[in-house]
């Protein structure tokens, strides 16, 4: 059984996928304070990454760690949005899902910090 909402493919699908992604980024920036803060930190650290890197690979690793934090934050925000759409009441499983998403963000940030410290002091 196929979902009637799935597209057939082709250039129209690609165009719509790009639009959906733009909408998601715009929504995250508008509604998610943590995402805005992480974007600001990434914007500040991006030129620093380019300056301190000894190679393209180091720059890619440093910048990749920042993008990874944003990626995980987007997934966490998606989980929270779906959970809030289901109910705003206290529910132990929804609380667990939100906590798990938050833990994923924490681990992504810890990985980024470790990556930066390794490149700077390693």
The domains of the chain, with CATH numbers, are: 33-121 (1.10.287.3610)
pLDDT digits (tens, 9 = 90+) for 20-47: 999 999 999 999 999 999 999 999 999 9
- Residue predicted with more confidence, 24 or 8: 24
pLDDT at 7 over 70: no
pLDDT at 10 over 90: no
DSSP class of residue 5 equals T
Work out the end-to-end distance of the chain between its first and last CA atoms, rounded to an integer number of angstroms: 53
- Residue 54 has a pLDDT of 96
- The sign one gets for the Cα dihedral 9, 13, 14, 18 is negative
Closest C-alpha among 94, 49, 102, 54 to residue 76: 102
Positions marked catalytic: 73
pLDDT, mean of residues 56-78: 98
- Residue predicted with more confidence, 12 or 70: 70
pTM: 0.89
66: how many CB neighbours lie within 10 A of its CB? 22
- Residue 119 has a pLDDT of 96
Q: Which of 1-5, 46-50, 57-61 has the lowest mean pLDDT?
A: 1-5
């Amino acid at each position: 059984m196929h979902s009637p909402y799935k597209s057939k493919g082709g250039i129209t699908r690609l165009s719509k996928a790009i639009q959906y992604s733009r909408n998601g980024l715009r929504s995250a920036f508008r509604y998610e304070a943590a995402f805005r803060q992480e974007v600001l930190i990434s914007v500040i650290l991006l030129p620093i990454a380019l300056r301190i890197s000894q190679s393209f690979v180091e720059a890619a690793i440093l910048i990749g760690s920042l993008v990874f934090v944003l990626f995980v934050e987007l997934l966490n925000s998606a989980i929270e949005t779906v959970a809030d759409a289901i109910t705003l009441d206290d529910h132990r499983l929804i609380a667990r899902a939100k906590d798990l998403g938050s833990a994923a963000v924490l681990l992504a940030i810890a990985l980024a910090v470790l990556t930066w410290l390794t490149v700077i002091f390693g």
